[in-house]
Amino acid sequence: MTKITVPVSHPEEVEMLAAGGAGEFFCGYVPPEWLERYGGAFWLNRRGPVAGNLFQRDDVSLLAERSHARGIPVFVTFNAPYYTPEQQEFLLPVIGRLAEGSGIDGVIVSDVGFLVSLRRTLPGLPVHASSVMASLNPGMVDFLAEHGASRVIFPRSLGVGDIAALCAAAAGRLETEAFVLNEGCVFEEGYCMTTHRSVGALCVQLPDVPHRVVPLTSDAASSLAGEDRKPAREMMGAFRDWVWFQNGCGNSVTDRGIPNGPCALCALFDLARSGVTSLKIAGRSASSFRKLASLRMVRAVLELVSGGASREEAAREAAAIRNTPEFCNAGYMCYYREGAS
């Protein structure tokens, strides 16, 4: 069965998530030396300097020890869009100590130059190409394979058919990973240099930016009033709804504790057959309960699929588990629309 890759932000979460069916863990790490040198202005990974990160190497070591005791590998994120040469020199020995002393199983990176530096400096350490690297076509898959990446993590903007085609291109050379639950991205993340967060980022605020309808011709300008503005208002309303759904429906949960937000449960039948190696649950900064609830949902539907359920049966069960038909029927919450029920 396809592995489920789960976020973890504390060693105490390992036992609970392992029992829930986690196949892999990924975590963030921000050493105190980084904060002393760069403060909070330059994020070490795609999370702020506090939320969702470990801060002591001993905690990373303990997390890896507990995970390995259960046969689960641990990957650490160093996936800022880019690092300066000075920052790369700072990080290479940090990662070397994590690999040799803490026993991590690999790192997740977004900066192509940093990937090359890692392969030269630590040739035995697996490197995963983050979704922020925007691997959108077979040419990029070839490029990553040639430069020593061990896995490509697909961007959120791809469809299931795109993922299947890229999995075929990667077969025998790279492992593959696709998002399955939580935390969307309004823009193509690989081409977005703003912060990746649900509060304060440009994409979240965009629907509320003052705007006006600009007619295409001067004749249209003289007649644009009243009902003529209705399509534009409806479009902005739909965009506002979509942004809200993509950012976790306000980080809300149902009355049963099921997390709302971007979801590919209905697409698991097709994703499982695409050849993808791992399915990623996003949300390192989420609560332990939200992580576990997310994992249980993915595992329940994936077990149905692996047990022979049809696409329609799996989609019905996914919708029943969520039990939010008003959200599912809106269509805005689906990662992969072609897999929606």
C-alpha span between 68 and 65 (Å, rounded) = 5
C-alpha span between 9 and 24 (Å, rounded) = 13
Q: What is the pLDDT of residue 285?
A: 87
User: Are 113 and 88 a contacting pair, CB within 8 Å?
Assistant: yes
Q: What is the pLDDT of residue 216?
A: 58
State which CATH number among 3.40.50.880, 3.20.20.70, 3.40.50.720, 3.40.50.1110 fits the domain covering 3-195+261-339. Answer: 3.20.20.70
Going from N- to C-terminal start, the domains of the chain cover 3-195+261-339, 202-241
User: Are 290 and 283 a contacting pair, CB within 8 Å?
Assistant: yes
Q: Is 197 exposed, middle or buried (0-12, 13-18, 19+ CB in 10 A)?
A: middle
Residue range 158-187: mean pLDDT, rounded: 93
Residue range 155-167: mean pLDDT, rounded: 94
Structure tokens at 141: 């898959």
Q: Return the minimum-mean-pLDDT range out of 134-143, 182-191, 290-299.
A: 182-191
CA–CA distances in Å: residue 77 to residues 37, 45, 235, 254: 19, 6, 37, 30
Q: What is the pLDDT of residue 341?
A: 45
User: Are 11 and 62 a contacting pair, CB within 8 Å?
Assistant: yes
- R_g of the chain computed on alpha carbons: 21
Helix (H) or strand (E) holding 152: strand 151-153
Q: What is the pLDDT of residue 189?
A: 78
Helix, strand, coil percentages (3-state) for the chain, rounded to 5, are 50, 15, 40
The answer to whether residue 19 scores a pLDDT higher than 90 is: yes
Q: What is the pLDDT of residue 271?
A: 95
pLDDT mean across residues, the chain: 89
User: Are 174 and 145 a contacting pair, CB within 8 Å?
Assistant: yes
pLDDT single digits (tens) 235-268? 888 888 888 888 888 778 888 888 898 999 999 9
